[in-house]
Amino acid sequence: MTDPIDLPLAAQAALLARREVSARELMQATLDRIARRDPQLGAVVHLSDTALAEAARWDDTPPEDRLPLAGLPLGVKDILDVAGQPTRCGSHAHPVETAGDAAAVALLRRAGMIPFAKLATYEYALTGPAWDQPNPPARNPWNGAHITGGSSSGSAAAVAGGLMRVALGTDTGGSIRAPAAYCGITGLKPTHHAVPEGGCFPLSPSLDVIGPLAACVADAALVMEHLSPATRATAGLGQDIAGLRIGYARDWFANDPQADPALIRAMDDMAATLSMLGARIELIDLPDYQPLEEAGTILLQAEAWAVHKDALATRWDLYGVDARRNLITGAVLTDDDVTRARRVAARFGATLDERLAQVSALLAPTTLGPAPKFSDFEDGPVWTAMRTLPVNMSGHPALSVPCGFAANGLPLGAQFIGPKGNEALICRLGDAYEHASAHMARPAIGAEPVSLDQA
């Protein structure tokens, strides 16, 4: 029999509503699994000491007063505030204070979820894995010698490792979608501003988005619908996709020398599967990728410098080495640099709108290969090939789903990009593909903890 904590959120909610499982039992099972598995993963940086009491209150609530997601556990990336819990942003430099719930957390709490765990992030959501931060970096559940991707590193590890079904993350240049791809789970980057950003420490406000990382598309859609009811994100789940036109941006990646051959095959197989489901696959062109990433990097670095420059003046030594190096690049950027980058972003957004007027959604890879090894980062951050940052520049929603496996057995991910405000469409596509494919396997997590020292 499937353990209740491994069931989709809707099934868990149904069990709780029928009182076949109590919220306290569900939370205790979750905490027990974290105790067994997280020593290998390093995903959790703080656990609420009131989680069981909060769950018990839902058990004592009359049926007519229960909320739709009552008693379901929720993990939260540690740059989002949770009432009564510290926010550290993965940095020694961040003043540790407790505040009220971030707006996104409050929305899910009002639906009945219990935000019980703060999850690891790269320092201020800035850099790659580093060992001069308050906690060692989270490890990939498929292979602990490999990264989870960032910066929603703990959120991805926690969901892929089966510690919880869903966790909140943030996505500024791919920080929901890349970890989802590297860890074989679902990651939803909503339309810009669809989810309120209050109570989330900013990285680059014109690019930042809050969204769910989840064990399946239905879980992500359910949470998204409570984060932004106007999206009606669950509306298309279970519907067929016959007749939908999908623009396959194959030239955007297939000729890139960084593209893993297994990724190219997986993307072509995914397009074939969608075609067999009745979708019409049409090859489309998108602008050259490199200038887009360069423009997005300028925007990110300039805005991050504006956020941190005052704190750096007084707390320089408390920031990690990689974070400092990353931030000071923003100091040399000029207003003209930023203006030119915004023009590139605007043109790309217009191009996506034009393409999405011709097709229902776009299909592209999330990353161009599987998760790198920690050893690749021994000398500091390294560039990893992705196809995510331009979609932050444009503001369109994107859903990353598993699409296959590399030769080393690690997951690969692809993303559906949809019209602004149409999270329901990309969730419909992702859900249909998920049910037609065999890429939603969970990694095997052993019983014994492994060292979290640098690999």
Residues that are catalytic: 77, 151, 175
| Strand extents, DSSP E, 31-113 | 44-47, 73-77, 86-87, 97-98
Give the Cα separation of 285 and 282 in Å (integer). 10
Place of tokens 């499982």: 21
Q: Please choose, from the candidates 96, 46, 108, 317, the residue with its C-alpha nearest in 3D space to the C-alpha of residue 201.
A: 96
**Cα angle at 80 between 156 and 313, to 5 degrees?**
110
Give the Cα separation of 3 and 337 in Å (integer). 53
Give the Cα separation of 121 and 36 in Å (integer). 21
Q: Which helix (H) or strand (E) holds 156?
A: helix 153-160
Sign of CA dihedral 391, 41, 443, 375: positive
Sign of CA dihedral 282, 288, 292, 294: positive
Burial-class residue 448 by CB neighbours within 10 Å (0-12, 13-18, 19+). exposed
Calculate the CA 206 to chain-centre distance.
18
Q: Are 115 and 109 in contact (CB under 8 A)?
A: yes
Half-sphere exposure of 223 (CA within 13 A, CB side): 35
Give the Cα separation of 384 and 406 in Å (integer). 16
Q: Which amino acid is at 23?
A: A
Q: Which amino acid is at 354?
A: E
Place of tokens 């075609």: 275
- How far are the Cα atoms of 130, 273, 452 from residue 123, in angstroms, in the given order? 8, 39, 17
Q: Which amino acid is at 108?
A: L
